[in-house]
Amino acid sequence: MQGIKALLGMGLVHRLLHVNVARMSSMPALIPAIKNGEKVKPTFSKAEMDSRVSRLRTHMQEAGLEGALFTSIHNVNYYSDFLYCAFGRPYGLVVTMDRITLLSANIDAGQPWRRISVGENLVYTDWQRDNFWRGVKQEIDVCGKVSKLGIEFDHLTMNGLAKLRQFIGGESTVDVVDIGVSCMKMRMKKSDEERALITEGARICDLGARAVVEVCDAGVGEHEVALRATEVMVREVAKSYPHAELMNTWTWFQSGINTDGAHNPVTSRRVQKGDILNLNCFPMIAGYYTAVERTLFMDHIPSDRHLELWEVNCKVHRRGIELIRPGARCCDIANELNEIYREHNLLQYRTFGYGHSFGVLCHYYGREAGLELREDIETVLEPDMVVSMEPMITIPEGMEGAGGYREHDILIVTEDGNKNITGFPFGPEHNVITK
């Protein structure tokens, strides 16, 4: 009897599952934009966004592309002014020669439509699996037969590529080519509006740095210092950009052993007198990144060797700033700065390149790898590029002067040199914190 009841129960479960699947299949896979509320003030002007799309379409035409599918946070944001939060779901921007459509998840409701400043919004639902790819197919089909499609090789996963081919056709039907590198190169030169936003970000960086110095003291935890700096920056972003979403602004404040890595997270370690310190403040505005990073000491510099190492790194920093000018190659800048470290027998303690580009990027999206001050990058600097100068050396624990030494300024390349938009001072004469 128990076995019969169990079988009947299983049959009931199967019938219910069948009914539920049938019900879900009748629910919509795709729905038009959810026009809930009013459109918000965009980050950039219509002329700015139209210029970006125009340059993209010119490239598409020259490369013989009928369409492009962007899936990365940075390119979706760059061409639509929408910064998505994936949380496990795909997002995309389909661009053809006469149409732009943001594909967003239904969980976001009306937010994507309110935020995009160009094109249309198509929403995919969770009612059936792979509805995102159904939306991609629908938008690509709008422009007719597509034989060549641009995608981001550095972002779309192998699984994503398989899904794309499943829905739009195999290799014999559609040729997919990389558009990521070309778009990165287009993003490397910043417009007037971008440079203005980055300059504002640099100003807010300085406020965060000052907050670090104000709250930092012996006995205070790294996390308390970082929280205060982040609070100051978020409030200033909110004040200066009341129409913006407040996302991703953060501070890394490191002390003692924790200074050995530039990207080491905040801990609850308490600052001690004589500690080497690193402040790193990152206000984020509409997906755009800015930063200030500084070496400091708490109360006093504990040895002559610490001072010597700090001064050498500042020497490299100053020379690096002088080398940022149009016509300079990234690799040549790196090689010349290497010689200063080599003269002091410190080159082996350098841990990464001397700087990178700015724009739509964060610690999890958007690095413009073609514009980094490294020995293997031959890119020539041009006016309107924006780069950092950020030399760092790490002396291992147990050696005299142990710790990580790092400075970081933001420089806009001009017609005859550069404009340094970082205001917070650096060096021993400024950054020994005494209370």
pLDDT per residue, tens digit, the chain (435 aa), is 565 455 445 555 555 445 455 566 789 999 999 999 999 999 999 999 999 999 999 999 999 999 999 999 999 999 999 999 999 999 999 999 999 999 999 999 999 999 999 999 999 999 999 999 999 999 998 877 788 999 999 999 999 999 999 999 877 688 999 999 999 999 999 999 999 999 999 999 999 999 999 999 999 999 999 999 999 999 999 999 999 999 999 999 999 999 999 999 999 999 999 999 999 999 999 999 999 999 999 999 999 999 999 999 999 999 999 999 999 999 999 999 999 999 999 999 999 999 999 999 999 999 999 999 999 999 999 999 999 999 999 999 999 999 999 999 999 999 999 999 999 999 999 999 999
**Confidence (pLDDT) at 6:** 53
Alpha-carbon distances of 16 from 10, 12, 126, 420, rounded to whole Å: 10, 6, 19, 67
Least Cα distance to 354 among 188, 233, 328, 363 occurs for 328
Looking at residue 169, its pLDDT comes to 82
Report d(CA 71, CA 150) in Å as an integer: 11
- Residue 217: partners with Cβ closer than 8 Å, 6 or more residues away: 271, 298, 433, 435
Amino acid at 435: K
Q: What is the DSSP string of 259-292?
A: GGSTTPPP--PBP-TT-EEEEEEE-EETTEE--E
- How far is residue 76's CA from residue 287's CA, in Å, rounded to a whole number? 11
Active site residue 263: yes
Q: What is the pLDDT at residue 14?
A: 55
| Catalytic residue from among 263, 306, 408, 430 | 263
Query: What is the pLDDT at residue 20?
Result: 54
Rounded CA separation 161/154 (Å): 12
What distance in Å separates the CA atoms of residue 47 and residue 34, rounded to the nearest whole number? 25
What does the alpha-carbon distance between residue 346 and residue 72 come to, in Å, rounded to a whole number?
38
